Amino acid sequence: MQFISYLINGISLGSVYAIIALGYTMVYGIAKMLNFAHGDVIMVGGYMVFIFMVNLGLPAIVSIVLAMAVCTVLGIVIETVAYRPLRGAPSLAVLITAIGVSYLLQNLALLIWGSTPKSFTSVVNMEPLRLAGGQLVITGESIVTIGVCIVVMVGLSLFINRTRMGRAMLAVSEDKGAAQLMGVNVNGTIMLTFAIGSALAAVAGALLCSSYPMLLPTTGSMPGIKAFVAAVFGGIGSVPGAMLGGILLGIIETLSKAYISTQLSDAIVFSVLIIVLLVKPTGILGKKISEKV
């Protein structure tokens, strides 16, 4: 019974990773860049929900929607100011810029909100579910997180495959030049991708801080990196892959915390990345990309 409860916790944590990983994988698929600042957008989302909900006393749903709006704007600003000028530049330059943006967000947050952790009030107001005569308790946060993850996943898949804008995203990720020739607005599509990714980051921030109610300027960085691991694990560029990778990684982390060692759980998670890259560099659901000379 204890194992099942760990498993559910793992799936819940993994759902948060999956939502974050979606942002990574979409941006990577389309802009071919690793957006290091994604994890810090999560942190900004967390602080925004905190401000709207605790300081201004707004209802949870409204706070999350407002935080999503703020993060969307933030994502668009980051893309326009920092990443767009570097389109076509070597990947090393883009990567270093992304690290710079990540650091900028963290240190701005540090200046604005200070280094004392804020205790986050859960956005979920739901009684825990008791099963098997009270032996198995599933928290409201877990249920909501898993539910949100499924909704986001289905919604995003429909959006990408069924709408014009979604298909434009697919076209840009396949071949930027050809997409432009077919009349796709490439810059607009990339901006849209950042906007969606950042809005999802705000959701992830609210859910993450509800389950682990400690808000710090560095809150986002570790989950961000782990979500990237999840995206690679599932196959970068693939939406179902991000979902699968996120949930598997969440389970691995929770189980290794429970049965092996709390201190070493991060090391185990990162070892997964290395093993995946050694054995199947394209990830579980990734496509093989042949290299052009």
Residues near other proteins (CB under 8 A): 28, 33-34, 82, 85-97, 99-104, 106-108, 110-111, 221, 225, 228-229, 232, 261, 263-264, 266-267, 270-271, 273-274, 277-278, 281, 291, 293
Q: 232 and 276 in contact (C-beta within 8 Å)?
A: yes
**What is the CB neighbour count within 10 angstroms for residue 188?**
12
Residue 61 or 111: the one with the smaller Cβ distance to other proteins is 111
Nearer of residues 11 and 31 to other proteins, judged by Cβ: 31
User: Are the beta carbons of 19 and 144 closer than 8 angstroms?
Assistant: no
Nearer to other proteins, 111 or 126 (CB): 111
Q: How far is the CB of 106 from other proteins (least distance, A)?
A: 8
Give me the residues paired with residue 138 across strands.
129
Residue 111 vs 137, nearer CB to other proteins: 111
CB of 224 to other proteins, least distance (A): 11
CB of 86 to other proteins, least distance (A): 5
CB of residue 13 to other proteins, shortest distance in Å: 18
Q: What is the CB neighbour count within 10 angstroms for residue 288?
A: 7
Closer residue to other proteins (CB): 125 or 187: 187
CB of 241 to other proteins, least distance (A): 15
